[in-house]
Amino acid sequence: DMLAGRGVTSLDDAMRDLELKPVHEALRRLFDHEAVHAYAFPNPRAKTAKKTADAIDELVNRARTLLDTACHYCASPAAEVAGFGNNRKWTGDRDTALQRFRQRLEAAKKLDAVVKQLPAAYTSEVKAVLPVEAVEEISAPLWSAVIAWAAIEALGAYCDPAGTNQAASQVFDALRLREVMAQSLEKLGTHGEERWRVVSRIRATFAHAAWAPAAQGTQRHTPVFTWLHDPEVAWLIGVHEWEGVRYFNKEAYERFLWWMALRSLLDLAATPDPKAIAALESEIELRLKAAEQAQYRTESLLKIGKPQTLSSQPASVLRSETTATSSKVADKEVAAAKKKSTKPKKPVKS
């Protein structure tokens, strides 16, 4: 009855989508235009603190439904086929995960104060991916991306608080959130390939969390830039070949770098620390200089970095680590969702 006479390419896929329908509907409700708009642009006639708190309360309630439906699905036999294993139990506390979600949304409203402490040269790329100092028409889609990121983090924290990032990445793929999220973002103003870029950035933040600027860790075991082996990240930063050499796009790389710093920026927005902001700036500057010195050649970046203990690093050089593999599920969904040009391009360096 649900197919209404429509043919499907895979009966298994159709059945899995049907089983995931409650989760997908909960995600769509989270991205309701009115709910997102009330949070991003509160009614100017209401008191600022109250109107923001009310909007966040509504989003938290919608996120609660998402967490409940996702947890319920993962406890079902269907979850084993999705890659969760047999009756995997979520070990986190739902209310704690929702509290983190709330704190992220509250901190996001203070991002301007953090960004204003960064050099002006960086702000144009920051504004391209984060909702800071922007007019309503431009920043509305950016606000929705931050809400989406916070929701995926909450799912990971509820699933496995000891391994939030890995759990978030796994949940993202297993629950097939990519296409649903892209569709929702499109309704909120993110169109064309950009909606797929936003979704891919969100997933990469968790799949490569150890690589993110100011990421927490104790030791680097792999070269800094081995995350470039991920084909989805390669697409995000515009990797292409010219005369037998692989290059990446300067602006796309900078935007990706600043988006990967979202977690650190939100932490700093919640608890301002000028020294920590300076340290984050130094870490990002270090990576940008490394890219420039490599003349934006992918292969050169892959050779940079040696295994080292982080405690021996100077304070301005923060921790960096990465995973070098990408989920087969993500590869398949990205390939099905967008077409990539195979024609060689001239290297874009600026």
**pLDDT tens digits, residue range 9-33?**
555 667 787 889 999 999 999 999 9
Q: What DSSP line would sit under 237-263, residue for residue? A: TT-EEETTEEE--HHHHHHHHHHHTHH
Q: How far is CA 36 from CA 41, 116, 265, in A?
A: 8, 24, 21
Among 216, 210, 208, 202, residue whose Cα is nearest residue 276: 216
| Strand boundaries in the chain, DSSP class E | 219-220, 240-242, 245-247, 308-309
The residues, any chain, with a CB within 8 Å of residue 129's CB and separated by 6 or more, are 142, 145, 201, 255, 258, 259
Q: What pLDDT is recorded for position 18?
A: 85
Per the CB < 8 A criterion, the answer to whether 232 and 326 are in contact is yes
pLDDT of 329 higher than 50: no
pLDDT, tens digit (0-9, with 9 covering 90-100), for 275-294: 999 999 998 998 899 889 98
pLDDT over 60 (residue 105)? yes
DSSP state of 309: E
240 - beta bridge partners? 247
Task: Please give the backbone phi and psi of residue 116, each rounded to the nearest 5 degrees, phi first.
Answer: -65, -20
Confidence bin at 326 (pLDDT 50/70/90): very low
- pLDDT per residue over 156-215, tens digit each? 999 999 999 999 999 999 999 999 999 999 999 899 999 999 999 999 999 999 888 874
- For residues 245 and 341, the answer to whether their CB atoms sit within 8 Å is no
Confidence (pLDDT) at 51: 72
Query: Tokens in use for 63?
Result: 């996120």
Token duo for residue 259: 């988006």
Share of the chain above pLDDT 90, in %: 52
- Mean pLDDT score of the chain, rounded to an integer? 80
